[in-house]
Structure 1
């Protein structure tokens, strides 16, 4: 089967930034990792395909060669999936997926064999919250309800008493799948990678050392939060193994779009309509603010449609900053032409047109203007 274009594999454009490529690969890898999809050949192939694409596109030189010459420019240039692992902790932020990736390619065998009972950090969990535009700007609190693994209080997380060598992996903590050129090592499903199994499992947790718990937290969303803001709650993830620390709960913030306001960093944008007589003569209008209420703004005479006015300090507060440290608001004036004029209004408009001596054969305006 012919290879798919690397950009198509990751679902990004050819002009995608390094960060966009990294995010796209992260999403595919998390959704298709073989250790989370055992015996799913299609997921495994998607994972390998995405890893190969990321290996090329994350390297400036290889990406340049690929852009110029296609696959011919990178044949033999991919260093295998082990090279992808160099940046995997940066992509996934460490934690559980780093351990999964290492074990998948056999990188963790020496670590397990030398410390099968060593403490292991628990996996981190992800939770998405959606807040209103105003709440993201000025901060709010949201309730988060989620399930996570907690150390069993009956056996103190040990899983029971007495251990023996795992018969499945022979104490290695890993099993190997495949044969020939491409072999993959993964965590032993019987002992969970420890190389040992418990002879007298705890009756409460059945030897797992953990219990599933539903927890509810009140989480503070800081002022200045935006789409994609990442909040880390240390130790609120899954319990660790052998007394290891718990993972984290990672909160990702999504912001609902506002009907009238748009945002870019700390600045906000608003469009306000005025009549052409207001534009010609100048006026004062009241415009809404993101925090609520209105402010009176002077519109200078002769303003053109599309012109923007800056309202200093009326934007979004700095992330985790004070409400006084804010961006600006840019007010774009839209001059509206009346669609329906009465007899008297038409007569007055005609007099105005004659008085102004309007040009009936105007010169075109250059695009750069």
Structure 2
């Protein structure tokens, strides 16, 4: 399982000061300390995770390595990850020709790069999924540092072309007949070094920024529906377009209605008498409409009645809607009035299945009924 971002573990932004990092660590360490949660292995894992994140972010040198190379950089002792090593014969020949005849220098970062995309999960209520809704969100993204213009160098200074790779971002290791390229160890493939880092971004050229966006969610969406907002992802390199913001929707469960595709399902309790004799019941739909349901005579429990057009709208065609499926549940009474009990006994006699009558209570039983508030049947 990949490690979580250390800043995410402590709940602080990448621009957090040492004091903010220490404050966040102390609060989480107290919350997840083993002495406060004896026997809870999951909490112990979180405590170790918080401690590991703090050990890195409190150390300026380790933090600089982590900011630049991530977890792999720490594992490699501050060197860039090795997974990017590749062989490109055209680069080998270009480098050889450039070295011999003073050819052009290539920047190690490959020019402008579009910003990365962002994915966020957005929770909705079932009613919001049925009717559509507008939501205002605060999005955190990486932006080019405005102080240094994204160069990472302190204002008034400039990055210096790397002497080791001469700005190509790649150095070559002899491998027999061919020179094998790898990322330059001196500049980590950037093609330049920064002698005087920007104090705002610590030489990264990037800072965390926030913006408020409004998204209109159409009727009929469901869990895992994906909405894309163009140009609201991370910023690219200076002059390059931003990435996109992808919203992954998650619809919460409703306490009354259950969704089944475009249909909605709910239960409706009815009395024993209404199930036998038939009649009408009034229902309130998901959107608050009142509808009258005709219950046929002799209805059995779990009978399903359909109300057309009161389900979920079709995302591609909101004019089309599913149905509301009503599951009738016949309720057997648990407490009877004396009159009701007499009627049920009479019904049982007519069916030839009358239970024995309850024994008549003596004076002590009647006194007990008076004390407890119970009234014997007449």
TM over 0.5: yes
Which residue in the other structure is 1:25 paired with?
A: none
Which residue in the other structure is 1:213 paired with?
A: 209
Q: 1:150 Cα shift?
A: 2.7
Q: 1:218 Cα shift?
A: 1.2
Which residue in the other structure is 2:136 paired with?
A: 143
Matches of 2:188 and 2:314, distance apart in 1: 45
TM-score relative to the length of structure 1:
0.59
Which residue in the other structure is 1:335 paired with?
A: 330
Whether the aligned pair in 1 keeps the contact of 2:162 and 2:186 (CA below 8 Å) is no
Matches of 2:140 and 2:239, distance apart in 1: 20
Matches of 1:321 and 1:303, distance apart in 2: 35
Q: Check if 1:229 corresponds to 2:225.
A: yes
Matches of 1:141 and 1:171, distance apart in 2: 48
Which residue in the other structure is 2:162 paired with?
A: 165
Whether the aligned pair in 1 keeps the contact of 2:161 and 2:167 (CA below 8 Å) is no
Which residue in the other structure is 2:119 paired with?
A: 126
After superposition, give the CA deviation of every residue in 1:29-59 in whole Å (9 maximum; x if it has no partner). Answer: 5859x96533677xxxxxxxxxxxxxxxxxx
Query: Which protein shows a greater Rg?
Result: 2
1:239-318, aligned counterparts within 5 Å? 239-241=235-237, 243-318=239-314
Gapped regions of structure 1 (runs ≥ 5): 1-27, 42-99, 177-184, 361-369
1:14-25, aligned counterparts within 5 Å? none
Whether the aligned pair in 2 keeps the contact of 1:164 and 1:199 (CA below 8 Å) is no
After superposition, give the CA deviation of every residue in 1:164-206 in whole Å (9 maximum; x if it has no partner). Answer: 1375998446999xxxxxxxx9987975644334678778766
Cα separation, partners in 2 of 1:152 and 1:170, compared to 1, 3 Å? closer
Cα separation, partners in 2 of 1:336 and 1:244, compared to 1, 3 Å? same
Matches of 2:302 and 2:171, distance apart in 1: 65
Whether the aligned pair in 1 keeps the contact of 2:226 and 2:247 (CA below 8 Å) is yes
SS in 2 for 1:346: helix
Cα separation, partners in 2 of 1:173 and 1:293, compared to 1, 3 Å? farther
Matches of 1:128 and 1:136, distance apart in 2: 15
Matches of 1:238 and 1:175, distance apart in 2: 33
Q: 1:351 aligns with which of 346, 352, 377?
A: 346
Cα separation, partners in 2 of 1:105 and 1:173, compared to 1, 3 Å? same
Matches of 1:229 and 1:145, distance apart in 2: 20
Q: 1:243 Cα shift?
A: 3.0
Q: Check if 1:37 corresponds to 2:71.
A: yes
Tell me how many residue pairs correspond in the alignment.
264
Which residue in the other structure is 1:45 paired with?
A: none
TM-score relative to the length of structure 2:
0.58
Cα separation, partners in 2 of 1:204 and 1:340, compared to 1, 3 Å? closer
1:42-81, aligned counterparts within 5 Å? none
Matches of 2:70 and 2:83, distance apart in 1: 14
Matches of 2:336 and 2:262, distance apart in 1: 42
